[in-house]
Structure 1
């Protein structure tokens, strides 16, 4: 993991480049985590409810806690 904090703008550019290259994910340079792109989510076709960073279905991106038994 890097000690250097990356800017939101740099992350947006990294995401945009990955989408333009039709990549399903990129590696977050700050955390080392795999981050799915909007390209991947659209290809998948539905929201998983996990609150993903680039979910194109933001309104539905987290499971409704009211409906959990």
Structure 2
């Protein structure tokens, strides 16, 4: 398993989701609430799309290399799903 970023639960990768993005603060509040409840995902406040939480992605144990907003592994992980 690839090492997790130390701040993966509270700080998204800035090139994927930053305060400059419309709805960022509401999205981060929804993320915190979803993590606290143990939810797999939350609804983006702008698009309405489902977004996986960092906790779910970390618990999965591997990076899918899809550019997830809350990827716990880093901006350029080199991981593959378990076989």
CA distance in structure 2 between the partners assigned to 1:54 and 1:38 by the alignment = 5
Given the two structures, how large is their TM-score scaled by the length of structure 1? 0.72
TM-aligned CA distance change 1:43 to 1:52, over 3 Å = same
Match of 1:46 among 62, 68, 76: 62
Q: Determine if the alignment matches structure 1 residue 37 to structure 2 residue 53.
A: yes
CA contact (8 A) 2:39 2:53 kept: yes
Q: Which of the pair has the greater relative contact order for Cα pairs under 8 Å at 6+ separation?
A: 2
Equivalent position SS for 1:59: coil
Runs (5+) with no aligned partner, structure 2: 1-20, 79-83
Counterpart among 20, 30, 35 of residue 14 in structure 1: 30
Aligned to 2:44: 28
CA distance, structure 2, for counterparts of residue 32 and residue 11 of structure 1: 10
Structure index of larger Rg: 1
Structure having the higher helix fraction is 1
Distance in structure 2 (CA, Å) of the matches to 1:61 and 1:25 = 21
Deviation at 1:34, TM superposition (A): 0.8
CA distance in 2, matches of 1:30, 1:58: 24
What TM-score do the two structures reach when normalised by structure 2? 0.61
Paired positions, count: 59
